[in-house]
Amino acid sequence: MSALLKNVTNCIWHAFDSLQNNQVVHKSKLKVLTANIGTLLDLYGVEKGLDHYRSSQELTFDEFRYYLQHEVFSSLPKTLNLPVAREYEKKISEVCWLVCRKSLLSRDKPIFSDDSVFKLFRIFCLLADLVQDADDTNHYVVVLQPSEAGLVAEQLVHCLGLRWDAADWEALGSSIGHFRWAAFLAVLEAKYCGDQQLHIEALMEAVDELYDVFIEDIIKKGYLFKRGYLLPTMREYWCVLQPCALTYYKSSSQKEQCGRIPIDEYCSVEAMPGDGKIQRFQVITPERTFEFGTQDHKSRLQWLSGLRQAAAVSGGAEGYQRRARAGRRGAGARREQEVRDARARLQLEVRARLAAEAQAQELAELAQQDNKKLEELKSAQTELERLLQEETQAKRDEEIVRALQARVLAEEWERREELERLQEEQNKMLEEERLKRKQFEMLQAEKESQFREAERRLRELEEEKQRLDAELRAAQEKISQTEHNAHALHVQLREMNPNLRNGERARRAISFVPTSKSSSDTLIDLRALRHLKTLDDEEKL
């Protein structure tokens, strides 16, 4: 599809829509529209091909657009310069407006003039999209996105000197959705231009300003002083700045053009020192340098900004507003994709939430069956909340802890070295203790051996004592017997020979006998016995 047909498709659709009956139009009506379009393009007789196009006498919009593409617009050059393309668009829009103006102008309380409505119609067709009807996919409609309609409405409100309420427009756009022509015009007239204090001339000037911005791509216009090429005098002109050129006229009526300066990416703008009355600046092109001036510094800044903007957007075969619209469409497509992604995520979250709710219902049923478990879960939940609060507090304290970590680590290393030193000393002490314990065990073993030896000797002594006690008892019995015998012997001696010698011997014998009954030494008893035996032997002699 050619670029020109693409740009005027919305206007042609409105003309087709005003002629259609049950989504088709008779060829006879389309011949008139096709002939007028061909005449504007310097093509004659292009409507005759409709008789042989298709066997039916009625055509749908797709069929009519296909015919225009291949039989009418294909005869044009593939590339058209921007001024020629704009002129063709304007003429074709006027022809389509003549066909559909009656249906598009019908409304209960008109506020805009017919000329202003036509200009708004061109703006609507520029920014709108041709889409398939949601109710009938075989039927097309031209709709305007709420963002694009809001752009036009905001510009109109600013031109009228009113205050723009973006939130109110967002609510209105969300309630209406896509704007068709009737809704778009009704909103502009009823909501923003229904004030009786607004004069009709003010409305016309505001619409003209919109038309210049969106259709003519006028970035800025106003009076400028221009230095002459031959005479170095500053003359005042009405200048109109577009992305492709700066055109200057004798007056604001723009009927007598005095010159045109092409603007492209190779142009530059520079400010010049002012002389107190005129603030000067230069427009430098590859061919020559132009000198302009304004009455104040603020206007010069505005023109410098506008000229730099025009140079930046001068490239391309389409107008600036169409390219801006395409850029907004791309951004809108990205936003719509993001919205779709967000909706998909939201649906996943909704499904997850529903699944969680179902699981929660199951848990609730289980909780009703087991109250104790529910209490445990509640206590666990309370504990988790407390832990969450503690974790939050811990995160807040984390920075402080990190600041103290270095110092604590250094102290820990010092403690570790001290502990290692103490551990070494303890190991030494344990080693000494083990040696002492070993020596003590050896000494204890030696003492135990000595103790056992002493016990053995004690047992031997006890046995010896018992033996000696037995011998002592036997000796005592013998002594007792001996005493008895000695006494009897003494009595006999006294009776038989009572001289002094015998008496003396008897006394010695008696005095030698032990007088005590204690356990004396066994050797003394034996000597006494031997002494007595000696005495007996002497007596016998």
Distance from C-alpha of 188 to C-alpha of 107, rounded to nearest angstrom: 13
**What type of residue is 201?**
E
On whether both 232 and 307 belong to a single domain, the answer is: yes
Per-residue tokens: 226: 């221009």
In a domain, 444, yes or no: no
Domain end (from 167, 195, 214)? 214
In a domain, 200, yes or no: yes
Helices 200-214 and 114-127, packing angle to 10 deg: 30
Distance from C-alpha of 353 to C-alpha of 349, rounded to nearest angstrom: 6
Residue ranges of the chain with per-residue pLDDT less than 50: 1, 500, 502, 506, 509-521
In a domain, 465, yes or no: no
On whether both 8 and 66 belong to a single domain, the answer is: yes
Counting the structural domains of the chain, the total is: 4
Q: Are 276 and 262 in contact, with CB atoms under 8 Å apart?
A: no
Distance from C-alpha of 351 to C-alpha of 22, rounded to nearest angstrom: 44
On whether both 191 and 169 belong to a single domain, the answer is: yes
On whether both 149 and 252 belong to a single domain, the answer is: no
Which helix (H) or strand (E) segment holds residue 270: the answer is strand 268-271
Q: Are 306 and 219 in contact, with CB atoms under 8 Å apart?
A: yes
Whether this model's pTM surpasses 0.95: no
Each residue's pLDDT tens digit, 450-466: 999 989 999 999 999 99
Domain end (from 179, 214, 249)? 214
pLDDT number for residue 527: 59
Per-residue tokens: 90: 């304007």
pLDDT number for residue 512: 45
Mapped onto helix, strand or coil, the DSSP state of residue 243 is: coil
In a domain, 410, yes or no: no
pLDDT number for residue 93: 93
On whether both 103 and 123 belong to a single domain, the answer is: yes
Number of residues written out for the chain: 541
Distance from C-alpha of 17 to C-alpha of 37, rounded to nearest angstrom: 17
In a domain, 142, yes or no: yes
Domain end (from 187, 214, 241)? 214
On whether both 314 and 343 belong to a single domain, the answer is: no
Query: HSE on the CB side for 299, CA within 13 Å?
Result: 16
The structure tokens 């593409």 sit at 69
On whether both 334 and 293 belong to a single domain, the answer is: no
Q: Are 36 and 95 in contact, with CB atoms under 8 Å apart?
A: yes
Other CB atoms closer than 10 Å to residue 89's CB: what's the count? 19
Q: Are 129 and 139 in contact, with CB atoms under 8 Å apart?
A: no
Other CB atoms closer than 10 Å to residue 393's CB: what's the count? 10
On whether both 280 and 338 belong to a single domain, the answer is: no
On whether both 180 and 259 belong to a single domain, the answer is: no
Each residue's pLDDT tens digit, 261-305: 998 888 999 998 877 788 999 999 988 999 999 988 999 999 999
On whether both 297 and 312 belong to a single domain, the answer is: yes
Which of 207-236 are b and which e, b meaning 16 or more Cβ less than 10 Å from the residue's Cβ?
bebbbbbbbbbbbbbeebbbbeeeeeebee
In a domain, 434, yes or no: no
First to last CA, the chain: 186
Q: E strands of 286-373, at which residues? A: 289-294
Pairing of strands 140-143, 129-132: antiparallel
On whether both 185 and 301 belong to a single domain, the answer is: no
In a domain, 422, yes or no: no
In a domain, 95, yes or no: yes
Q: Are 267 and 245 in contact, with CB atoms under 8 Å apart?
A: no
On whether both 60 and 30 belong to a single domain, the answer is: yes
Q: What is the span of the domain harbouring residue 59?
A: 3-214
Per-residue tokens: 198: 């607004």
Distance from C-alpha of 426 to C-alpha of 413, rounded to nearest angstrom: 19
Closest to 303 measured CA to CA, from 172, 28, 311 = 311
Q: What is the CATH number of the domain that holds 303?
A: 2.30.29.30
pLDDT number for residue 199: 78
pLDDT number for residue 197: 62
